[in-house]
Amino acid sequence: MTQFSDTQTTPSAGSSPAPWARLIQLIHPFVGPAFGIGVVIVALSFFGPGVWAWIFSQSYAIKAPDFSVFARLPWVTMVHITGATSALLLGGIVLYGPKGTPGHKAMGRVWAVAMVTTALSSFFIKSFAPMLGQFGLIHILSIWTMISLPRAIWYARQGNIENHLKTMRGLYWGLCIAGAFTFIPGRTMYAFLFG
């Protein structure tokens, strides 16, 4: 069985990497999430300058979780939350655990199903900021997931592990960014934690 892992090039004996190369190695894992956070900031800014004042004026004191919030949700939203939560928890294990093992492959398949469930169910949920019917900017991420996930699986089957890993990391961080949107005041997870 082949063991896949992150491969990093090491300098040959007697040579040292350029200082900027080390800096790039350090910041590389943060580029994707930073770009996603930038997209969120720009997207929210389209609603006008008052949106930031409103967001920062809300209370963010964590209270006892209010599970009754979930009892009032439509079933498709519960399917979406279940898929997203499963993908969020399992994704961290799959992405940062040992690669190429039977466990990695099995958990990866379950993670892929959770991601597809999350993406497909999102199309039946009205966006908190609709722009085209019930769809908003966040639905672009669902479309991207439905395109990128099969591509990532194809990369793995072709043995292109580097692109497989990059694509899967991008999908996972996209899920994290979409999850951050759920804590905006007026949304379900905000009501759950901050009441």
SS (H, E, C) 111-153: HHHHHHHHHHHHCCCCCCCCCECCECCHHHHHHHHHHHHHHHH
Task: Supply φ then ψ for residue 161, to 5 degrees.
Answer: -70, -35
State how far the Cα of 43 lies from the Cα of 28, in Å rounded to an integer. 24
Kindly state whether residue 4 falls inside one of the protein's structural domains: no
Q: How do residues 136-160 score in pLDDT, each as one tens digit?
A: 777 888 999 999 999 999 999 999 9
Kindly state whether residue 7 falls inside one of the protein's structural domains: no
The reported pLDDT for the residue numbered 78 is: 92
Q: Which residues contact 74 (CB under 8 A, 6 or more apart)?
A: none
Kindly state whether residue 72 falls inside one of the protein's structural domains: yes
Q: How do residues 60-95 score in pLDDT, each as one tens digit?
A: 777 778 888 888 889 999 999 999 999 999 998 998
State how far the Cα of 195 lies from the Cα of 193, in Å rounded to an integer. 6
- Residue 8's pLDDT band, with cuts at 50, 70 and 90, is very low
% of the chain surpassing 90 pLDDT: 38
Q: How do residues 100-117 score in pLDDT, each as one tens digit?
A: 899 999 999 999 999 999
Terminal CA-CA length for the chain? 50
Task: Report the mean per-residue pLDDT for the chain.
Answer: 81
Overall domain count for the chain: 1
- The CA-CA-CA angle for residues 170, 112, 7, to 5°, reads 50
Kindly state whether residue 116 falls inside one of the protein's structural domains: yes
More confident residue, 22 or 48: 22
Q: What is the pTM of this model?
A: 0.69
- The CA-CA-CA angle for residues 92, 98, 19, to 5°, reads 80
Kindly state whether residue 10 falls inside one of the protein's structural domains: no
Count the alpha carbons within 13 Å of 76 in the hemisphere toward its beta carbon.
Answer: 8
The reported pLDDT for the residue numbered 127 is: 75
Kindly state whether residue 141 falls inside one of the protein's structural domains: yes
Instruction: Say if residue 41's pLDDT is above 80.
Output: no
Query: Residue 13, class by beta-carbon neighbours within 10 Å (0-12 exposed, 13-18 middle, 19+ buried)?
Result: exposed
Kindly state whether residue 36 falls inside one of the protein's structural domains: yes
Kindly state whether residue 2 falls inside one of the protein's structural domains: no
176 lies in which domain range? 19-194
